[in-house]
Amino acid sequence: MNKLKILASFGIFLLLALFFLGYGAQTNQQTNKIYDGIIKTIAAKYNLEASLISSIIKAESNYDPMAISSKGAMGLMQLMPETAKKYGVNNVFDPKDNIEGGVKYLNDLIKLYDRQTNFVLAAYNAGQEAIKKYGGIPPYPETRNYIEKIRASYKNSTIRNKTRIYKFYDSSGRMVLTNSSFLYYQHKKKIKDNKDSI
């Protein structure tokens, strides 16, 4: 009788544990989807892959917009106060503001480290001074684990920028291809202004 009660208790415990583990995984996937639109919009704006930004957010805060590290980094992309200020983040706990500031910082690191994924990630995690001090990726276990964690889902050794090509027809009917969003939107505005004046 005692063995039966123990087995029944263990079975109930096991079912509850499996339920909550599965629920946690579903909740995390739902949380990721909440920010997908913001991530994709900002990724397109800065010509970066959304998958890289998502991988960084997962490693930094596990998609918790209210996350605060023991060192004082805050929000989804774990921005330090001085970094947030430098990149124009007014509210580090606002997902859009935080992601945009983090991506601006990431973009600067991409340029600084010639798109080399490991160096960019190391600098994002440990800071640029650590890279300078060690002449490369610092030997910190946290930083090395961080790089491995992100590289498990982002395999590229160099960070690719997506170049968007805009197509329009000028006033003489010639097709124009450009990577300048400014020229494209200037043309669209000119067409709109012409329609409005008619």
Catalytic residues, by residue number, are 60
Cα angle value 166/57/132 (rounded, 5°): 90
Task: Determine the angle formed by the axes of helices 117-126 and 141-151, rounding to 10 degrees.
Answer: 130
Residue closest to 46 by CA, chosen among 99, 123, 117? 99
With H, G, I as helix, E, B as strand and everything else as coil, classify residue 85: helix
d(CA 173, CA 178): 15
Given a contact cutoff of 8 angstroms between Cβ atoms, the answer to whether 49 and 39 are in contact is no
Question: Across the strands, what pairs with 161?
Answer: 48
For residue 158, what are the β-bridge partners? 116
Residue 59 CB burial class (10 angstroms; 0-12, 13-18, ≥19): buried
